[in-house]
A = this chain, B = another copy of it.
């Protein structure tokens, strides 16, 4: 297992070419946020926008439209019950993030099945939160796509079948290989299983132990994947940056709120670009 270092940041965060436009930085569609968990998809979407993704669309429960735009006018909105629009917005994206605040009811399952039926092998799909639980509960067949899972340890237990106490690197490595996916197992010391290697994030602070941190990371992972060339590096850099910003804030805060990490992203990425 390799330990991540700050070197992953300039290796990943390219200096933007002068002659570029928003299309250069990807088109990302985030899907989640039922009536109860709307904040989750709002945070994930904001993380994608502040990470620099070119075009961001949020597919969520209609009741979240107003709060989305009150916080984040830069994101576009679509109603999660509009299946045709959902399919269209999946198809036009290069990265799809599904799961933050999605919930696990029948409607959520139907949405997730639509996502799986629509993504193609050229696209990257980040599967987070309740979507991971749904995959495990319903033994869903995973789609042909570049898959990234971002489970916390309990979700990883559900998905991999490995009890938390037995989640050794070797067993998780094998499970990730079986999934043909990159897996980010979030914990005190997050581990990342890319297709080619295993990494541990040495950073992270208990000030981060609060609701919404995972949703924010999922959005950052999506935002980095949307714009940076190497997908493995994109995931690693997002994980590292998320914790590094939290550690900076924790030098003066007892708890770090997810939206505060998001607010720091443009400055942090500027300071750590190539």
Query: A residues touching B (Cβ–Cβ < 8 Å)?
Result: 13, 16-22, 24-25, 35-40, 42-43, 46, 49-56, 63-79, 152, 187-188, 205-207, 209-213, 250, 252-259, 265-270, 273
- Residues in B whose Cβ lies below 8 Å from that of A70: 66-67, 70-71
Question: A155 to nearest B CB, angstroms?
Answer: 12
Known: A39-B73, A74-B257, A254-B268. 9 other contacts (CB 8 A): A39-B72, A42-B73, A43-B73, A50-B257, A67-B69, A73-B259, A74-B211, A254-B266, A254-B269
- List, in ascending order, chain B residues with CB within 8 A of A49's CB: 210-211, 257
Q: What is the CA–CA distance of A84 and B213 in the complex, to the nearest angstrom?
A: 28
Nearest CB to that of A210 among chain B residues? B22
Chain B positions within 8 Å of A38 at CB level: 65, 69, 73, 77
Most buried by B among A53, A66, A273: A66
Looking at the assembled complex, report how far the CB atom of A4 sits from the nearest CB atom of chain B, in whole angstroms.
17
Nearest-CB residue, chain B, relative to A17: B206
Nearest CB in chain B to that of A79: its residue:
B35
Whether the pair B254, A73 counts as a contact (CB closer than 8 A) is: no
* A22–B255 touching, CB < 8 Å: no
Q: How far is the CA of A64 from the CA of B64 in the complex (A)?
A: 11
